[in-house]
Each structure stands twice: as C-alpha cells, then as structure tokens.
Amino acid sequence: MPPVTLFDDLGYAVALAAAPQRVVSLVPSITEALAATVPERLVGATDWCTHPSDLAVQRVRGTKNPDLRAIAALEPELVVANKEENRELDVQRMRASGIPVWVTDIETVPGALDSLERLFVEALEVEVPAWLTQARSEWSGSVTDPTLDVAVAIWRDPWMVVGRDTFTGDVVERLGWRNVFAGHADRYPHVDLAELDRDGVVVLLPDEPYVFTSTDGPEAYVHARPALLSGRLLTWYGPSLVGARAALAAAVSD
C-alpha cells in the first residue's frame, strides 16, 4: 500500500510507509491471532505469549515490562499493544524512538472482533481471517436474559474478581450468565471470600492469571459451586473465541 496514516483504537495516528512485514506483539491474544494469520510477519512476542505452543520468535520479556532495546533491535515496522495489558509509558517510549505502535482497546466480544478486523484489513492489509468470520458467527446474536449467576475469580490471597466493563464480563453475559459483580464500582475488585461463597452462585476458577487447580481454589467453597475452566477461553480474544462458547458452557455444566 502507499504511505498512509491510520488511527488505532485510541485515535492515535499511526504512520505506515507500507503494509508492515515485521511485527512485534505485546498482547498474548493478538500474538495468537497474528501467528494464525500472518506468521511470517511476526518477529517478536512476550514471554506470556503461549499460543501457538510452537511459536518460535524472539521473546521481549513481559507485557508490563517489555525489553524496549530488544524490541528496537528487531526493527519492527509495527508493534501491537493493548490499552489494558500494556503500559502507556512503554508505548510513549517506543513512539518517541520512531517505532509505530498500534494500541487496541477491547471491552466486548464484538469490539474485539471489530478491533482485530481493523488491524488485519487496514494496518496489515490482509483479508479478514477465516477464524474471525467463524468467531463472529458463533458469538453473534442478542444477549439473552441470564440463567445462571456466576462470579469470575482471577486471584486469591486476596481474592479478586471480574467487575464492570470488561471483555470477560461481556463473554459471561453473552453465555447467558449474570456476573454478580458486574455492578461493582471497580473493574477488578478485591472481595472477601464470604462475598463469593454464596448459595446459588457458580464461581469460575480459570487457570490464568492465577493458576487455579483442583487442589488450589475449589476447596475454599462451601456454599457456592466452583468450576475450573480455561482462562484462555474466558479472557483471550482472537482464534481462541472459536469453539469457546461450547467449551465454557460444558465446563460449567459438568
């Protein structure tokens, strides 16, 4: 494509001389999406980018503490970041050094798919990926009235849960469940165990960011019903959305 100036999800101008051929991703979900769609362009990713399992690119440390020198050494034509997962300071420093950075802002499933479509079609200049089309089909339709009360635990000691205005909260709602902490003032509130361990509530225990297991998490609950499930299916956006609806429903019904 000829030189263009595009605008990322935050409205920041991103000048591109051509469709980027060297891309660094600082977002695990987007790393998986890039690897599934344009693997030849992905040259760097964080230590937390675990999918695909055979991903063989330069690692640039974590999402909150990226190695900016290592990123610059890769000579990226675009770095992809996320408003929630990455620090604004790191984005500013990369931009100041002349590296184009595309920041995504994602709080809902439709918003995630729209954001990723813009990244691939506008910035990378590729066709809409087949996985994205399939994900839209699986997650399309109106949100139904909830049939199940759930809480999504993301940490323990202290216990933390998913609150308002989050991608995970939207996933829960679209599954036909009610997040009992959706009305909380905080997006990721600290709560007492007694607030979680209530009759009629299913407490979802994903394996990330805290690694809940059969021996670490469920034993804390006497009244609520704990349900272990994949954190990737609950919190990631991209190819992981394909099949996630059925898998999450099955995990809670077991």
User: Are 209 and 155 in contact, with CB atoms under 8 Å apart?
Assistant: yes
pLDDT (tens digit per residue) in 212-225: 999 999 999 999 99
Distance CA 122, CA 4 (A): 10
Task: List domains and CATH numbers for the chain.
Answer: 4-138 (3.40.50.1980), 148-253 (3.40.50.1980)
Residue 1 has pLDDT above 80, yes or no: no
Distance CA 50, CA 34 (A): 13
pTM above 0.85, yes or no: yes
Look at residue 92 and give its three-state secondary structure. Answer: helix
Residue 165: CB partners within 8 Å, gap ≥ 6? 107, 187
The average confidence (pLDDT) of the chain is: 96
Residue of higher predicted confidence among 15 and 146: 15
Under DSSP, the state recorded for 24 is E
User: Are 177 and 149 in contact, with CB atoms under 8 Å apart?
Assistant: yes
Distance CA 90, CA 170 (A): 28
Q: Any idea what the Cα angle at residue 18 is, between residues 15 and 20, rounded to 5°?
A: 90
pLDDT (tens digit per residue) in 134-179: 999 999 877 777 889 999 999 999 999 999 999 999 999 999 999 9
